[in-house]
Chains A and B, each alone.
Chain A
Amino acid sequence: MSGPILSLRGVTKSYAQGNAFDRLLGRDTRFVALDGISLEVARGDIVGIVGESGSGKSTLANIAVGLTKPTSGDVLLDGEPLSVLMRDHAGPWRRRVQMAFQDSSSALNPRKTVSRCLTETLALRGVPREQRETEALAMLELVGLGAELAPRLPHELSGGQRQRIGLARALAMKPDILIADEPVSSLDVSLQAQVINLLSRLTRELGLTLLFISHDLALVRTLCSRIIVMCKGEIVEQGACLDVLDRPSHPYTQLLIAAVPKGIAGRRKPTSAPSRGHAQDSVG
């Protein structure tokens, strides 16, 4: 129980680039999405992983839950390699790592009611049939939703409600680790706060270990105890959340901090030259 609950050792993921013809001639190059990532997450940690698109943060999430196989390296769940556990697709290890997804519109099956979505999840956890309905309602209550939503279909829910159902579904498996991949980026600012507060409360109440993947530093600051900054498949900076955000040492972290909208405090002086994100973004 004392070791890290989740650790990555030298995890690399690369994809072949170029067309079949290039590959045939051996001219293909490989796009490296993750480059030798090693990290450890202690039980009960709330870790924010920040970075922009292409930083590899979503690939990292997918590898950590076993949706994507790494090209090399190992993921250890309580010391056991995922590559070994994966041989039993539906094994008891499965429920221990769950994921909350980004896009609230594709996270739920459009043809299944909220109640069906939750009860079938509970069934896979082995909850007896007669208890599933009651427990599904309990899950709804846990994420702050009323029982009246149970018979609804996803399109009858608001974005924030869908996101909560997605969370309830993940939590219905009683996971030890929850990986939330940009769980609020498809929501309006007014609804973001609801979901973030909910996540914060749930991690505390359920003793969850949370990997919170986001591009929003301010959200990470509110929620997380540790932060990992990723850029182009590598970890460029990590540490205690407030330390890193108050005294960023890597230029990329500084750039991210400068990019956070600051309201009138961030107003452009009419004479000031463009100061932020000076680097021209790349082609392609």
Chain B
Amino acid sequence: MTRFSHALRGIGWTGWLGGAIVVLMLAAAIFAPLIAPFDPVALSIEDRLLPPDVAHWLGTDQAGRDVLSRVIYGARASLAVGIGAVVIGALIGVSAGLFAAYKGGLGDQLVMRIVDGVASIPLLVWAIAIVGIFGVGPVRVGPLLLPNEVKIVLLVGVLFSPVFARVTYAVASRIVGADYVRARYLQGAGHWEIVAGDILPNCLSPIIVQATLLVAIGIVVEASVSFVGLGVQPPQASWGSMLSDARNAIYSGEWWLPVFPGLAISITVIGFNLLGDAVRDLFDPRSETRTLVA
């Protein structure tokens, strides 16, 4: 624990800032009903297009809905898609990368060529195409009824998996040859024990760094899909759909409509990026002595 707290001290202010932003956004998403001053979907014709003031801190939109409340609720869609996609992508990708690196030979070739295939799919185009094909409504898969958001999460997750597979593979294939792995093998340790106990923990830091960066990309993807109307459906709030709704406002001078959801996206993306860098430092077991090594 002392080692951990020591490392925490070395994170630097950018890391803390990133962490603070991420925690803030997560809190906003989780406690949205408690924090949001207004109902994000409540229409109020007399309050249309009010500029920011004391009652509505970030103003109101064309339907008289409170922008602040919608930005807070929008964090839910953004983070759910971003984090959900990363979790799925990591599960698939890390397993594939570990398998290929540990197995070697033909299995390695097969898995990594499939990964290459998936990686060649342009993410945004496919996200839009798939939603376009299946429609924005829920899709029934066997006994499960998948809402549109889940569909996007799964899709983006699969399309994220090659990134995880490659990062994991690159690190793991080096670790597989390390003497401490060979020593475990010589002791008769089980394959699962070696992969989960020795190889995976030593691949974690690049994976986690990659994960935080991909959450940021996932947020942008969600915003983009919602922007073209294929993501979160009205009247539910999402930063992307808010931006989409604000398209006309750019010309008519209601600046608060595009600026605040845009800022929310930028700040969250920056937050995850800063956090990613800090986490990389934190996970390095040598981080304490790093500054001393010539």
Question: Which A residues are within 8 Å of any B CB, using their own CB?
Answer: 65-67, 89-91, 94-95, 97-99, 101-103, 106-112, 120-121, 124-125, 153, 155, 166, 169-170, 173
Please measure, in the bound complex, the distance between the C-alpha atom of A89 and the C-alpha atom of B202, giving whole angstroms: 24
Flag the segment in B32-40, B60-68, B177-185 that touches A: B177-185
Residues of the B chain whose Cβ atoms lie less than 8 Å from the Cβ of A109: 180, 198, 201-202
Report yes or no: B183 in contact with A99, Cβ–Cβ below 8 A: yes
Q: Is the CB of B190 within 8 A of A98?
A: no
Residues of chain B within 8 A of A89, CB atoms compared:
188
Beta-carbon contact of A173 and B187 below 8 Å: yes
Could you say which of B182, B187, B197 contacts A101, with CB atoms under 8 Å apart?
B182
B107 at the interface (CB under 8 A from A): no
| Closest-CB distance, A149 to chain B (whole angstroms) | 15
CA distance A12 to B202 in the complex (A): 35
Taken together as a complex, chains A and B put the C-alpha atoms of A97 and B201 apart, in Å, by: 27
Report if A155-B179 is in contact (Cβ < 8 Å); known contacts: A94-B188, A109-B202: no
Q: Which B residues are in CB contact (< 8 Å) with A166? A: 179, 183
10 smallest A-B Cβ distances: which pairs?
A90-B188, A101-B179, A94-B188, A107-B179, A109-B180, A106-B178, A124-B187, A106-B179, A155-B286, A111-B201
Q: A106-B179, A166-B183, A169-B183 are known contacts; what are 8 more A-B pairs with Cβ within 8 Å?
A: A94-B187, A99-B182, A106-B178, A107-B179, A109-B198, A109-B201, A109-B202, A153-B285
Complex Cα–Cα for A250 and B167 (A): 50
Nearest CB of chain B from residue A231's CB, rounded to whole Å: 25
B5 interface hit (Cβ, 8 Å): no
Residue pairs across A and B with CB atoms within 8 Å: the count is 61
Interface residues in B4-18 by Cβ distance below 8 A to A read none
Residue of A nearest to B185 (CB): A67
Which parts of B148-207 form the interface with A (CB within 8 Å)? Answer: 178-180, 182-183, 185-190, 197-198, 201-202
Quote the shortest CB–CB distance from B99 to chain A (angstroms).
18
B279 nearest CB across to chain A (Å): 15
Given the complex of chains A and B, what is the CA–CA distance between A169 and B186 in angstroms?
A: 11
Kindly list chain B residues whose C-beta atoms are within 8 Å of the C-beta of A153. Answer: 3, 285
Shortest Cβ distance from A108 into chain B, in angstroms? 5
- A90 in complex: contacting residue of B179, B190, B289, CB < 8 Å: B190
Determine how close the nearest CB of chain A comes to the CB of B273; give it in whole angstroms.
25
Q: Which residue of B lies closest to A62 (CB)?
A: B182
- The complex places the Cα of A213 from the Cα of B99 at a distance, in Å, of 33
Q: Give residues of chain B (22-61) contacting chain A, Cβ–Cβ below 8 Å.
A: none
0/1 string, B200-231, CB within 8 A of A gives 1 = 01100000000000000000000000000000
Of the residues B3, B178, B182, B187, contact of A121 by C-beta under 8 Å? B187
Considering only residues 255-294 of chain B, those with a C-beta below 8 Å from chain A are 285-286, 289
A169: chain B residues at CB < 8 Å are 183
CA distance A66 to B179 in the complex (A): 14
A sample of 8 inter-chain contacts (CB < 8 A) reads A94-B188, A99-B186, A101-B179, A106-B179, A109-B201, A110-B285, A111-B285, A124-B188
Q: Least Cβ distance of B288 to chain A in Å? A: 8
Beyond A153-B285, A155-B289, is A111–B186 a contact (Cβ under 8 Å)? no
A107 B188 Cβ-Cβ under 8 A: no
Q: Nearest Cβ distance between residue B293 and chain A, in whole angstroms?
A: 10
Docked CA distance A145–B30 (Å): 51
B189 adjacent to A124 (CB under 8 Å)? yes
Residue among A90, A91, A107 making CB contact with B183, cutoff 8 Å = A107
Collect the chain A residues with CB atoms within 8 Å of residue B202's CB. Answer: 109-111
